[in-house]
Chain A
Amino acid sequence: MAKNILIVGGGLAGTIVANGLCRQLREELWSGSVAINMLSATDTHMYQPGLLYVPFGRVREAELFRDQRKVLDRRVSFIVDPAKHIDIDKKAVTTQSGKTHSYDFLVIATGSRIRPDAIPGMAEGGHWFYDLEGARKMREALAKFSGGRVVVNVNVPHKCPVAPLEIVFMLREHLASRGMLDKSEITYTYPIGRLHTLEPVAQWASAEFQRHGIKSEIFFNTKSVDAQGRTVTSEEGTTLPYDLLVTIPPHSGQQVILDSKLGIGGWVPTDRHTLLREGSSNVFVVGDTTNLPISKAGSTAHFEADTIVDNLASLIKEDQWARHYDGKVFCFVETGLNSGTYVWFNYTTPPNPGPPSQMVHWFKLAYNRLYWLSARGLL
Chain B
Amino acid sequence: MSVKQKIDARGAFCPGPLMELIAMLKLVEVGDEVEVWSSDKGSVKDIPEWVNKVRHETVGITQQEGYWSIVVRKAK
A345 within 8 Å of B by Cβ?
yes
In the assembled complex, the CB of A220 is this many whole angstroms from the nearest CB of chain B, namely 11
Contacting residues of chain A (297-330) with chain B, CB-CB under 8 angstroms:
327, 329
* Interface contact A235-B54, CB-CB below 8 Å: yes
Contacting residues of chain A (237-260) with chain B, CB-CB under 8 angstroms:
250
Q: Mark B13-54, 1 if CB is under 8 A from A, else 0.
A: 111111110111011100000000000000000100110011
Once the chains are docked, how many angstroms separate the CA of A215 from the CA of B28?
33
A193 within 8 Å of B by Cβ?
yes
When A193-B49, A250-B26, A293-B20 are in contact, do A161 and B15 touch as well, CB less than 8 Å? Answer: yes
* Interface contact A345-B50, CB-CB below 8 Å: no
Give the interface size class of chain A. 20 to 34
Q: When the two chains form the complex, which single residue of A192, A329, A345, A351 contacts B19, counting CB atoms closer than 8 Å?
A: A192
A338 within 8 Å of B by Cβ?
no
Q: When the two chains form the complex, which single residue of A221, A272, A351 contacts B13, counting CB atoms closer than 8 Å?
A: A351
Which interface residue of B18, B19, B27, B54 has the most chain A CB atoms within 10 A?
Answer: B19
Chain B residues with CB below 8 A from A265, complex form: 23-24, 27
* Interface contact A221-B54, CB-CB below 8 Å: yes
Q: When the two chains form the complex, which single residue of B5, B24, B46 contacts A192, counting CB atoms closer than 8 Å?
A: B46
* Interface contact A293-B27, CB-CB below 8 Å: no
A209 within 8 Å of B by Cβ?
no
In the assembled complex, the CB of B20 is this many whole angstroms from the nearest CB of chain A, namely 5
A219 within 8 Å of B by Cβ?
yes
Once the chains are docked, how many angstroms separate the CA of A54 from the CA of B27?
32
Number of chain B residues close to chain A: CB under 8 A: 25
Once the chains are docked, how many angstroms separate the CA of A362 from the CA of B27?
40
* Interface contact B23-A157, CB-CB below 8 Å: yes
B71 within 8 Å of A by Cβ?
no
Q: When the two chains form the complex, which single residue of A198, A221, A235, A272 contacts B14, counting CB atoms closer than 8 Å?
A: A198
* Interface contact A197-B53, CB-CB below 8 Å: no
* Interface contact B15-A193, CB-CB below 8 Å: no
B70 within 8 Å of A by Cβ?
no
Chain A residues with CB below 8 A from B23, complex form: 156-157, 250, 265
Q: When the two chains form the complex, which single residue of A193, A236, A250, A293 contacts B12, counting CB atoms closer than 8 Å?
A: A293
In the assembled complex, the CB of A308 is this many whole angstroms from the nearest CB of chain B, namely 20
Once the chains are docked, how many angstroms separate the CA of A198 from the CA of B53?
21
* Interface contact B54-A197, CB-CB below 8 Å: no
A264 within 8 Å of B by Cβ?
yes
Nearest chain A residue, comparing its CB with the CB of B56:
A235
* Interface contact B13-A156, CB-CB below 8 Å: no
B60 within 8 Å of A by Cβ?
no
Nearest chain B residue, comparing its CB with the CB of A200:
B13
Which interface residue of A219, A235, A250 has the most chain B CB atoms within 10 A?
Answer: A235
Chain A residues with CB below 8 A from B11, complex form: 327, 347-348
* Interface contact B14-A161, CB-CB below 8 Å: yes
Once the chains are docked, how many angstroms separate the CA of A350 from the CA of B9?
14
Chain A residues with CB below 8 A from B19, complex form: 156-157, 191-192, 197
Chain B residues with CB below 8 A from A345, complex form: 13-14
* Interface contact A236-B54, CB-CB below 8 Å: yes
* Interface contact B5-A264, CB-CB below 8 Å: yes
When A192-B46, A221-B54, A264-B27 are in contact, do A197 and B22 touch as well, CB less than 8 Å? Answer: no
Once the chains are docked, how many angstroms separate the CA of A236 from the CA of B11?
28
Nearest chain A residue, comparing its CB with the CB of B9:
A293
Q: Mark A197-225, 1 if CB is under 8 A from B, else 0.
A: 11000000000000000000001010000
A153 within 8 Å of B by Cβ?
no
Since A192-B19, A264-B28, A295-B14 are in contact, a sample of 6 more A-B pairs with Cβ atoms closer than 8 Å, ordered by chain A residue number, is: A156-B23, A192-B50, A235-B54, A293-B7, A294-B12, A345-B13
22 A–B contacts from the bound complex (CB under 8 Å): A156-B15, A157-B15, A157-B19, A161-B14, A192-B16, A192-B50, A193-B46, A193-B49, A197-B18, A198-B16, A219-B50, A221-B54, A235-B54, A236-B53, A236-B54, A264-B24, A264-B27, A265-B23, A265-B27, A345-B13, A350-B13, A351-B13
The 3 closest A-B pairs by CB, nearest first: A293-B12, A347-B11, A157-B23
